[in-house]
Amino acid sequence: MRLLNQRILRVGLVLLGSCHTAAQQEQREHALDYTHVAPLLVQGTVLGPSDVFEVQVFQEKDLSGVYRVAADGTIKFPLCGSVAVSGKTGSEIEDMLIACLRTGGYLKAPQVSLFVKEFNSKKVFVFGEVQKPGTFAYESGMTVVQAVTLAGGFTAKAEANSTSVSRQVEKQEHKIKIPVKDIGNGRAPNFALAPGDIVYVPESFF
């Protein structure tokens, strides 16, 4: 009987250690998710109608300017005419403009840079325990605190530190736990959103 009890104790300790290790691993994963998961790069996000971006052509002031994507997905660019940009990333549009300026014989080695100013065609979604759940236009550099503020702030039932952000990355959904209450109190860094993110604020059960 004594030997059996010792074996049971050893098994229990192993299981307890495994649970503790799993819990630690889960905590590390949450910490890694929150502190290291970067938003989708602006250059990797496709543009659409009503989006606004700035084009800078090195040492060519007349070719530089700010453009809004038209309803048909195009912009009117000097020397290139109508350029279809909807569904293209910033880097793809840069390449298109470089090719146009080079092959048209306008510039030998054009250097083109694109900077997105407004993502009007992109949205973020805020649901759960907020005053005004809904869909909001994504802005470059938008944070989770901004999104919650646009949704009217938390309700009295909100579990703010259990807020989650769901994000599609390469066709896979990732859920990231964000301590929004701590962020608001200055005890944690803010979290930048990406177009298409879903912010969910759960209800507190205490």
Label each residue of 147-204 as H, E or C: HHHHCCCECCCECHHHEEEEEEECCEEEEEEECHHHHHCCCCCCCECCCCCEEEECEC
Residue ranges in 37-154 assigned as alpha helix (H)? 90-103, 144-150
d(CA 73, CA 68): 9
160, 203 in Cβ contact below 8 A?
no
177, 188 in Cβ contact below 8 A?
no
Task: Classify residue 107 by its DSSP letter.
Answer: -
d(CA 138, CA 54): 17
Domains of the chain, CATH where assigned: 44-118 (3.30.1950.10)
35, 104 in Cβ contact below 8 A?
no
Instruction: Give the chain's radius of gyration (CA, Å).
Output: 24
Contacts of 91 (CB under 8 A, 6+ apart): 43, 44, 114
Flag whether the pTM goes above 0.85.
no
pLDDT in tens, the chain (206 residues): 554 445 444 544 344 444 444 444 443 334 345 655 554 444 567 899 999 999 999 999 999 999 999 999 999 999 999 999 999 999 999 999 999 999 988 898 999 999 988 888 889 999 999 999 999 988 878 899 999 999 999 999 999 999 999 987 767 788 889 999 999 899 999 998 988 899 999 998 86
**What pLDDT is attached to residue 36?**
57
Give Dmax over CA atoms of the chain in angstroms.
92
198, 165 in Cβ contact below 8 A?
yes
**What pLDDT is attached to residue 14?**
42
Query: Hey, is 104 helix, strand or coil?
Result: coil
